[in-house]
Amino acid sequence: MINDIRLVFDLTRYDIKAQAKETFLGAIWLFLWPVLQSGGLIVVFSALQGGAVSRDFVLSTYIGIITWSTCVMIFIAGLQVMKTHRETITQLVFPFHLLPVVDLCSKFIFFAMQFVIAAILWAAFATVDPGGLFALNILVFVFALFCYLLAASWLASVLGIVAPDLAFALPPIFLLLLILSPIFHRTPGGLPETIEIINAFNPLVFVVRTLFDVLGTDGGGTSFPLIFLLGGLAAVLVARWVVHVLYQELGKVI
């Protein structure tokens, strides 16, 4: 266990350094890109609405977008992680289950820093009062989200071997679902019934609604994400058991 943690730490550090060297701006771009992406979507949505949007809407939408985008990015990367590290798997004795963990950690660290900064801005400038337990609830949400994404990464690593084309087909679908999600449409019943049904079964919508409850966007103050936390812990246990069985056959496919 200790050796696995040490290996994940070393590989995550190496992966972060490699990502920073891939662009001219280095690590700065990893922070700047989500801001530009979120800002562009907010500007377009505001223009389509034909009017100005509130400060609370801008801040909460930004936090929602970076959370949604990070979930999608990590899941898509999970679909490709085994193919990307084929040589590591075939030429070295390497524990399969650590590859998705390393990929998740290297991406989640940047998200966590952006998320905490955004949460501080929300607490400082939002018109609603988040409440005294806001910081604790934010930390619990981030931890629970990591658990969900760990489970999703493990499952995606297997799914990517079975259906590799999903890595190319899913991004535009997730973008469409983002535009139709509660991140932009806060009024209940404001979307067609078909879209409401899709949102009801979309796990990312569950993440977003829990996030908005933690932020207290409805003005009722922050709420402790207990169900979200318990679900995340259960998801990790179930996913680890499932991939433990499937990884035994994974080497034959790769």
Query: How many other C-beta atoms can be found within 10 angstroms of the C-beta atom of residue 77?
Result: 20
Query: How many other C-beta atoms can be found within 10 angstroms of the C-beta atom of residue 33?
Result: 14
pLDDT band, residue 99 (cuts 50/70/90): confident
Q: What is the pTM of this model?
A: 0.86
pLDDT for position 24? 54
Q: Which of 107, 28, 26 is nearest to 66 (CA)?
A: 107
Q: Look at residue 147 and give its three-state secondary structure.
A: helix
Average pLDDT over residues 153-176: 89
Average pLDDT over residues 154-158: 89
Parse the chain into domains and list their residue ranges: 2-8+53-253
pLDDT band, residue 249 (cuts 50/70/90): low
Average pLDDT over residues 62-82: 90
Average pLDDT over residues 237-241: 91
pLDDT for position 130? 73
44 compared with 219, residue with greater pLDDT: 44
Q: Is the pLDDT of residue 16 over 70?
A: no
pLDDT for position 248? 65
